Amino acid sequence: MSAADFPILTTLIVVPALAAILCLFLRAEGARVIALVATLFNLLLGIWLWSSFDVMGSQWQFQESVALFGPIGWKLGIDGISLMLIMLSLFLMPICIGASWRAIKERVGEYMAAFLFMEALMIGVFAAQDLMLFYIFFEAGLIPMYLIIGIWGGANRIYASYKFFLYTLLGSVLMLIAMLWMIQQAGTADIPALLNHDFPAEAQSWLWLAFFASFAVKMPMWPVHTWLPDAHVQAPTAGSVILAGVLLKMGGYGFLRFSLPMFPEASAQFIWLIFGLSMVAVVYTSLVALVQSDMKKLIAYSSVAHMAIVTVGLFAFNQQGIEGAIIVMLSHGLVSGALFLCVGVIYDRLHTREIDRYGGLSINMPKYALLFMLFTMASVGLPGTSGFVGELLSLAGVYQVSTWVTLICATGIILGAGYMLYLYRRVAFGEQKNADAAAMKDLNGRELWLLVPIAAVVLWMGVYPESFLRPIRGDVARIVERIERAAPAGDSAIRENDPAMEKFRVKTNEGGDSHEAKQGSGH
Amino acid sequence: MNLGISLYFTRPELILSVSGLVLLIIAAWRSDSGRLLSLAAIAALFAAGAWTVNLLTHPSLELGGDAFEGLYRMDAFGSFSKLLIYVAAAISLMIAPRFLKNMGAMRAEYPVLILFAVVGMGIMVSANDLMTLYIGLELNSLSAYVLASFARNDGRSVEAGLKYFVLGALASGILLFGMSLLYGFTGSTNFDAIGKALSGDIGMGALFGVVFVLSGLAFKISAAPFHMWTPDVYEGAPTPVTAFFASAPKVAAMALLVRVTITAFGDQTFVWQQIIMVIAIMSILIGAVGAIGQSNLKRLLAYSSINNVGFILIGLAAGTKEGIAAMLVYLSIYVAMTLGGFICLMQLRNRDGRLREDMSDIAGLSKTRPGLAAAMAIFMFSLAGIPPLFGFWGKLVVFNAAVAAGLLPLAVIGIAASVIGAFYYLKVVKVMYFDDAEDIIVSENSRTLIWTGAVLAALVSPLGYLLITPLGQITDKAASALF
């Protein structure tokens, strides 16, 4: 049976929402089981969804439309890009529940409910086909995340939760005004229809900036990234996983779904802004990551650097760049999620994130050291892991637009190798200078169950990325086709009278003339 | 014949006036019958409400009509506002008796005063003449002054009443001055006639009249810069009375403001629109910034109401039919949110049975009283306008109306300021959910409070979105009556 005959997207949203309400009334043990069962069931539904997705089929599939809330239509539907991001959320969710199995001891029911609500909202964001419905899902995620950081977070959780909430809210409200204007102007809130609506060029700039305010904060881009390290450090492990794994992807998804295809001219007009901020982000946050003494903060800064690669890839205006950006998003979701889990594993044992308190873990925790190394390498972008595919494609795409941007962004990979290997050396290698760290036990069965599936997918994406590229190829091609009219000219093409190129040019002046003459006579 | 029609149209007010007088007589003989009289007053409100529904839905009264030769206007706009007022007043009556009794302040006059205030509000929203306007306003205000100082043995309550009276009298004076100017320059007190006279270049005198009338009304809706009385009165008055002040009279004064601006000043959009825009932005900003430093929850909700009034006024500033409909949607949601917020506050009692209303008292409420904390959090997030709660829909429609009317700068400033407001709503949630309990809040045994609170919380939860279509239709109809 195909999932297309069944309101599967609604089911994917309703199942976790109902489970969340149930969890609120259950004791700790029951809430854990319900949450795990609901997320695993959703994952199964997701696999069914992916297997029923027709790559060659129409752009929007599994469409549903019910006029439930008056002007806000309950319209859902996905393309390949949404499908991949929904799969990422569905895949990470049971892992988050598993990661919180023992670490969360207080108010378990409410915790699980918050996570399940998050899952429902995230799927809603990627599946919404009505602009207002999208906004509601997009913003509603703030409430559970605020509670997750604030209730179960670390010592400085209150500051972090406020910062997270207000930063992202301020970014989003301007987008709301822009959306209202767009709906008025286009006369519809239907996203597929808006994708084909041409907004006047002068309005596009303002609309683009309003959307940029929201997505840049969500992404996050330098210099509005400062909420991210705070939120990550203070959030519980599973909170960090979901934050890095899926919430950050909403920014990239927004650029891809709205900014680029709806405002192509403005996107081209502001390309300098995106490239400039991204270049600063890559170099600056990588250097900041290099000097961190807190593991989670280090990974958080590395997230900002990786997201900058995503933005340059998206705004490369070509197939490779956008495909690469999507793969980086997926890969980063898995890898940084896994890295946060790795931090969580040793945090649960020693209750500190200070890098100096560890050392020589490869001796007493060999399985851990192996998996941690795999994820470190994937984060660096070693060939064979998912990170490589995405970064290579993304940078190859940008190279067609700007050599300099590519050059500077490529340093991010070198710096990334620097800070990640430096982290790994200090944690896993060297002498066992701390007795308590040396006494830690290796991964138990539950932790292996969390990390091994991610490792498998990371390798799968690195070795055979075609599985993940195939569903998005057609959709990316449609976006490229739509934005081509505004695509910036690349600086890598050979110019006719460039003196620097003189010595490479073969002197075939007469030949050229005769070639032209021949062509002329041929006609 | 003509009198018959007039009496037919004004029957909601007649029902309430007669009930009020009868109840007053009963109260004179039996001063301990507050609970019984409250029930009777609720029944009277239901009767008046049923009649209003009849007027609203009767096919032959689609266009409304004038009563008493244009002094009073019965139309869908007034009827809808009245229904909202009756519901708010009925809820205020339901939650009050037990609470006031515990304070030692319950007397039989309470339901009577509420009824008279409601009659006044009914006249306000139906007024089509400056004189009717003033009579309705004063009937409402005089009842309100007494209600504010209803807990006579509580110094704060008496102070609130006195403050409200002095400042209210000043505002009434300003309003009267504006009205006399308008009468002098237009030669009429009837809204339609004033509307006709105020066309083209209106000159300095009439302009002053407009400004003074709007200032007086801004006081009544507690919009900045005429908001100073609000925090003090809200803090001092007994909480059920505060809940009443924050809901029903707000609806009445707002509806009155709409009718005056649209019917009487309709042609002078350029004149009043600027004033309303400035008042709206100031209210949003002052409501948001003023609330940040508050430690008393009632004062905080007072600033929150100032803040919300600003958002409602954005709908009026748009000056279109959609804008007015949006205001009514926002008002309906606002009534549910603010009543719910106060009902939550009323349930805060510590072990000694003392009422608590400070920010620090709700610390750790999510552990001691999870249901109450959840309801409060819903109201706070909804007041902040965070989706998926229903308060978001209210904000959305007013901003949509502003965008449609081309008031983009107003919309952008307003919505950016709403982020400041979000800060203190978050603070309430933070104290309840993130902090540890200091003072134990015991569970309340009043079923009425718990159930009304739960129903209102369900209304502003995402379930409320199911009401979008019916609410949209009825507010649309109400707004059309003015244009």
pLDDT in tens, chain A (523 residues): 666 778 888 899 999 999 999 988 888 888 889 999 999 999 999 999 998 888 888 888 888 888 878 788 888 989 989 999 999 999 999 998 888 888 888 888 888 899 899 999 999 999 999 999 999 999 998 898 888 888 888 778 888 888 888 888 988 888 999 999 999 888 888 888 888 888 888 888 999 999 998 899 888 888 888 888 888 888 888 888 888 888 888 989 999 999 888 998 888 889 899 999 999 999 999 999 999 888 888 999 999 999 999 999 999 888 899 999 999 999 999 999 999 999 988 888 888 888 888 888 888 888 889 999 999 999 988 888 888 999 999 999 999 888 888 999 999 889 989 999 999 988 888 888 888 877 888 888 888 888 999 999 999 999 999 999 998 988 899 888 888 888 887 776 666 677 776 666 666 655 444 444 444 444 4
Distance from CA of B140 to the nearest CA of A (A): 36
Report how far residue A265's alpha carbon sits from residue A24's, in angstroms, rounded to the nearest whole number: 48
CB A75 within 8 A of CB B477: no
Chain A residues touching residue B433 (CB < 8 angstroms): 147, 150-151
Report chain A's terminal Cα–Cα distance, integer Å: 58
Chain B residues touching residue A110 (CB < 8 angstroms): 366
Report how far residue A212's alpha carbon sits from residue B386's, in angstroms, rounded to the nearest whole number: 20
Longest dimension (CA), chain A: 88
| Cβ-Cβ contacts under 8 Å for A50 (sequence gap 6 or more) | A83, A87, A471
Distance from CA of B293 to the nearest CA of A (A): 16
What letter would DSSP give residue A66? E
CB A288 within 8 A of CB A303: no
Query: Would residue A221 be called left, alpha or beta, if left means φ above 0 and alpha means ψ between -120 and 50 degrees?
Result: beta
Chain A residues touching residue B366 (CB < 8 angstroms): 110
Tokens of residue A40, six digits: 């695993």
| Cβ-Cβ contacts under 8 Å for A20 (sequence gap 6 or more) | A112, A113, A114, A115, A116, A117, A120
Q: Which residues of A touch B (CB under 8 A)?
A: 68-72, 107, 110, 132, 135-137, 139-140, 142-143, 146-147, 150-151, 157-158, 161-162, 165-166, 169-170, 173-174, 176-177, 180-181, 183-184
pLDDT tens per residue across span B179-232: 999 999 988 999 989 988 888 778 888 899 999 999 999 998 999 888 889 999
Residue written as token pair 């009165």: B233
| Cβ-Cβ contacts under 8 Å for A227 (sequence gap 6 or more) | A160, A163, A164, A167, A168, A217, A220
Distance from CA of B365 to the nearest CA of A (A): 13
Longest dimension (CA), chain B: 68
Nearest to A140 among B366, B388, B415 (CB): B388
Chain A with chain B: Cβ pairs closer than 8 A? 85
Provide ipTM, 2 decimals: 0.90
Residue written as token pair 């050392």: A359
Chain B residues touching residue A184 (CB < 8 angstroms): 400, 403-404
Distance from CA of A474 to the nearest CA of B (A): 33
Report how far residue A446's alpha carbon sits from residue A138's, in angstroms, rounded to the nearest whole number: 32
Alpha-carbon distance values, B104 to B96, B152, B217 (Å): 12, 10, 34
Q: How many residues does chain B have?
A: 483
- The per-residue pLDDT for A519 is 47
Chain B residues touching residue A70 (CB < 8 angstroms): 468-469, 472
Distance from CA of B471 to the nearest CA of A (A): 10
- Classify residue B270 as exposed, middle or buried by CB count within 10 Å of its CB (0-12, 13-18, 19+): exposed
Give the count of beta carbons closer than 10 Å to the beta carbon of residue B259. 25
Tokens of residue A146, six digits: 């605020």
A-contacting residues of B 333-392, CB under 8 Å?
366-367, 381, 386-388, 392
Is the C-alpha dihedral spanning B4, B8, B14, B18 positive or negative?
A: positive
Tokens of residue A141, six digits: 């995620």
Report how far residue A156's alpha carbon sits from residue A135's, in angstroms, rounded to the nearest whole number: 29
pTM of structure: 0.90
The yes-or-no verdict on residue B373 having pLDDT over 80 is: yes
pLDDT tens per residue across span B219-278: 989 998 888 899 999 999 999 999 999 999 999 999 999 999 998 888 888 888 999 999
The yes-or-no verdict on residue B307 having pLDDT over 90 is: yes
Report how far residue A12's alpha carbon sits from residue B371's, in angstroms, rounded to the nearest whole number: 28
Nearest 5°: the CA angle B75, B188, B117 is: 50
CB B262 within 8 A of CB B207: no
Nearest to B110 by CA among B11, B34, B202: B34
Is the C-alpha dihedral spanning B103, B105, B106, B111 positive or negative?
A: negative
The yes-or-no verdict on residue B337 having pLDDT over 90 is: yes
Helix (H) or strand (E) holding A78, with range, is strand A72-78
Give the count of beta carbons closer than 10 Å to the beta carbon of residue A433. 12
What are phi and psi for residue B479, nearest 5 degrees?
Answer: -70, -35
Residue scoring higher pLDDT (A154 or B321): B321
